[in-house]
Chain A
C-alpha cells in the first residue's frame, strides 16, 4: 500500500526567551550571511531540546531529523514526555507552522484538530458557529448543509442551536465543536489531546468516532496522547519522541512499554520557575513532590507517603481552587484519582499573590512495590481547568527492608494492602 504520509528529515528551530528583543540585529546578521551565500548563523549554535538542563544557546531544536512513513488506514499514536516535540510535529503536519528544514508529503485532504471550536465567536448562535467552524476546518457550505442534522444530533444540543454560544455551558460548547470536527471527511485526521476535555461519556464517544473513521472509512489518524490506555486500545502503531528526536516507530504495545520504561528513571520532585510554570495568569503549578512519612523521597513498600503540590494563586482568582492527582503504574493501570472533593479552598481577591499547598496523604500498607508515575495533575478553579500537566513525577516504591520471613519477592496484584485475618478452628 502507498504511504499516505512521508516525512523526511524534518527539523524545527526555536528561539528561546523573549522573541522580539534583538531581532533586528539578528535579522541583519542573518541577511548578511545569506547575502554572502552562507548558512544561517543561528542554526549552527542550536542545541537539542532538553528541558531539564539549562543550555548555553538561545536556540534549540524542537525537532531534529524526524523521518517516518505512515500507511493509509493506520491510527498512529505519537507519545513522549512534555516538551518532546509532539505538538510541534503536529503543527508542522497541519501546516500551522513550517519546518526549518526537511519536507513532508501528505497524500490527501488534511483536517487538524489541535483545539476544539477554533474560530467560535461567542456572539454567534450555535448554528452560525457550526457553519463558520466547519468552513474554517475546510468544509464547504454545501457539505455542511448536507450533514447539518447529523452534526446537531451527534452534539446533542438541538434545543440550543439558535442560542449564542456565550450562553452555552462549557460542556455543550465542546460537544458542538467536536461534533463539527467529527464530521469532516479528510483522508488524514490529526488530533491533539483535545479529548482531555469533556466528560467520560463524551470522551468515549469521541474515541469511538475516531476508531470508526479509521476502520470503517479507511482514513488515517494521527493522535497525540499521554493516555497510554487510549494509545493501546485505539492505535495500530506508535511513534516515540524524546527531546525532539524520533526514538522508535513500531507497533503500539511495544512503544508504550518502551516509553514507560524510559520514563521510569525516577524523579520524586519537580519544580517550575514562575515564568514558565504550567497554568494561566490565575494560578500556576510551582512544584510537586512525593515523600514518605519521614519526609524522605525514598518510599518503601508498606510506607505511607504524601503527594504535595504548591500552587501560586494570583490576585484575580475568584471562587474556589482544587487539585486532582492521577496515579498510574508502569502498565498504565490507573491506581487512583485523588481530589479533595469536600475541602475546597474558597477565594476572594485581596490584592496579593498567595501560595497554596495541597498535601494528599496515602495511608500505609496500600501500595505494592513497583514503578509509578503521577500521570496527571489538574488544577481547577470551580469547574474550569487552569492547568493540566501530564507525567509530572516518576517514582519507585522499593521492597521493604523488614522482610517478611515467610515470603520472598514481590507480592502479586496491583495493590498490597494489609489485611486483618482471623483464623480459628470452628468444629
Chain B
C-alpha cells in the first residue's frame, strides 16, 4: 500500500520522478488537448502552424535582409531567418508558456493534486511536436532553394548535433520557464518584464550571425546560451555558422544548471503557492 506523508517542511531535493511517470497518461492527454483546442474556431486551423513562422520570416527578410542589408553568412536571407526562427520559436514558446504555469493553471491546481511538473513537461512536448511540423516547413523551403536556386546541401558532422541542440533548447526553455513561473506567483511584475525580455532576446539571437560580430566582442556570445545552439544548428543544416567548443560546453552547463535550479524552485513552490497566487 502506498503511504503519503504530508508535512510542513518538504525536503528540497525530494522530488518524485516516479510519481510524474505515474501520470504519463495525463501528460499525453494535455498535449492532445493543446492541439485540439489551439485552433478551434479558426478558418485556417492547423495551417497557422506554418503561417506564423512564415510571416515572421518574410518580415525579417524584408526588413533586415532587403532594407537593412544585414549579413547572413552568405546564406539566402529567407533560409537564414526561417531556420533561426523555427528553432528560436521552440525555445521561446517553451519559455513563455512555462513561465506562467502556476498563474494559468491556478483553478485546476487549487482543486486537485497531481505532480505539478506534469504541466511544464506537457507544454514542452506539445511544442516539440510544433517544432517538428515547422521543421517540415523549413525542409520544404530548403528543398525549393536547392532545386531552383542552386543552394548546396552541406555535408558536415555538425548535423549530428541537431538532436542534442533540440534537447538543449527544450531543457533551457523548461528550466528558465519554471524558474520564472515560481517567481511570478509573488512578483507579478515579472510577467510584464518577460515580454520585453523575450523580444530583446530574440533580436540578440536571431538577427546577427556570430561571424558578423567584431572579433573584440565575440566573447559576448558566451553570455547568450542560445547563440551556440543556433550557430551549430545552422552550421549543420545550412553549412554556415560558427562553432566554438568552449561556448558550446558553457551553454550545455548553463542549460543543465538552469534545469536543476528550475526543478528545485518549482518543487519548493508547488506546495504552498495556492496561498499566495
Asked if A137 contacts B3 (CB within 8 A), the reply is no
Asked if B2 contacts A102 (CB within 8 A), the reply is no
Q: Which B residue's beta carbon lies closest to that of A101? A: B8
Any B CB within 8 A of the CB of A103: yes
Any A CB within 8 A of the CB of B10: yes
Query: Which of B5, B29, B30, B32 meets A104, CB within 8 Å?
Result: B5
- Residues of A with C-beta under 8 A to B36: 123-124, 128
Asked if A109 contacts B108 (CB within 8 A), the reply is no
Q: Report the minimal beta-carbon distance from A179 to chain B, rounded to whole angstroms.
A: 16
Check A107/B113 contact, CB under 8 A, given A20-B186, A98-B10, A123-B37.
Answer: no
Q: Report the minimal beta-carbon distance from A314 to chain B, rounded to whole angstroms.
A: 22
Any A CB within 8 A of the CB of B188: yes
Asked if A124 contacts B186 (CB within 8 A), the reply is no
- Residues of B with C-beta under 8 A to A20: 186-188, 276
Asked if B37 contacts A121 (CB within 8 A), the reply is yes
Asked if B6 contacts A92 (CB within 8 A), the reply is yes
Q: Report the minimal beta-carbon distance from A110 to chain B, rounded to whole angstroms.
A: 7
A window 173-199: CB within 8 A of B:
187
Asked if B111 contacts A96 (CB within 8 A), the reply is yes
Asked if A97 contacts B33 (CB within 8 A), the reply is no
Counting chain A residues whose Cβ lies within 8 A of the other chain, the interface size class is: 35 or more
Q: Which of A112-120, A229-237, A291-299, A410-418 forms part of the interface with chain B?
A: A112-120
- Distance in angstroms between the alpha carbons of A23 and B7 in the assembled complex: 24
- Distance in angstroms between the alpha carbons of A92 and B186 in the assembled complex: 21
Asked if A124 contacts B37 (CB within 8 A), the reply is yes
Any B CB within 8 A of the CB of A1: no
Asked if B112 contacts A97 (CB within 8 A), the reply is no
Q: Which B residue's beta carbon lies closest to that of A93? A: B6
Check A98/B6 contact, CB under 8 A, given A108-B1, A124-B37, A131-B29.
Answer: yes
- Residues of A with C-beta under 8 A to B109: 96
Q: Which B residue's beta carbon lies closest to that of A120? A: B108
Any B CB within 8 A of the CB of A136: yes
Query: Which of B2, B112, B274 meets A118, CB within 8 Å?
Result: B112
- Residues of A with C-beta under 8 A to B113: 94-96, 110, 112
Asked if A135 contacts B26 (CB within 8 A), the reply is yes
Check A96/B274 contact, CB under 8 A, given A108-B1, A124-B36, A131-B29.
Answer: yes
Q: Which A residue's beta carbon lies closest to that of B40? A: A123
- Distance in angstroms between the alpha carbons of A104 and B7 in the assembled complex: 6
- Residues of A with C-beta under 8 A to B275: 14-15, 19, 97
Any A CB within 8 A of the CB of B25: yes
- Distance in angstroms between the alpha carbons of A97 and B275 in the assembled complex: 7
Asked if A94 contacts B112 (CB within 8 A), the reply is yes
- Distance in angstroms between the alpha carbons of A256 and B263 in the assembled complex: 46
- Distance in angstroms between the alpha carbons of A131 and B187 in the assembled complex: 35
Interface readout for B23-41 with A: 1 if CB under 8 Å, 0 if not?
A: 1011011101100110010
- Distance in angstroms between the alpha carbons of A72 and B32 in the assembled complex: 38
- Distance in angstroms between the alpha carbons of A214 and B26 in the assembled complex: 27
Q: Report the minimal beta-carbon distance from B172 to chain A, rounded to whole angstroms.
A: 27
Asked if B33 contacts A128 (CB within 8 A), the reply is yes
Asked if A121 contacts B33 (CB within 8 A), the reply is yes
- Residues of B with C-beta under 8 A to A121: 33, 37
Asked if A132 contacts B29 (CB within 8 A), the reply is yes
Asked if B25 contacts A135 (CB within 8 A), the reply is yes
Asked if B108 contacts A103 (CB within 8 A), the reply is no
- Residues of A with C-beta under 8 A to B5: 103-106
Asked if B29 contacts A135 (CB within 8 A), the reply is yes
Asked if B274 contacts A104 (CB within 8 A), the reply is no
Q: Report the minimal beta-carbon distance from A1 to chain B, rounded to whole angstroms.
A: 14
* Residues of chain A having any CB pair with chain B under 8 Å: 14-15, 19-20, 23-24, 27, 91-110, 112, 114-115, 118-119, 121, 123-124, 128, 131-132, 135-138, 140-141, 187
What 16 additional pairs, Cβ within 8 angstroms, besides A95-B4, A98-B7, A100-B8?
Answer: A15-B275, A94-B113, A98-B272, A99-B8, A103-B6, A105-B6, A112-B111, A112-B113, A118-B111, A118-B112, A119-B112, A121-B33, A128-B33, A132-B29, A135-B29, A141-B28
Ranked nearest first, the 7 interchain pairs of A and B with the lowest CB-CB distance are A95-B113, A98-B271, A135-B26, A104-B6, A141-B25, A106-B4, A103-B7
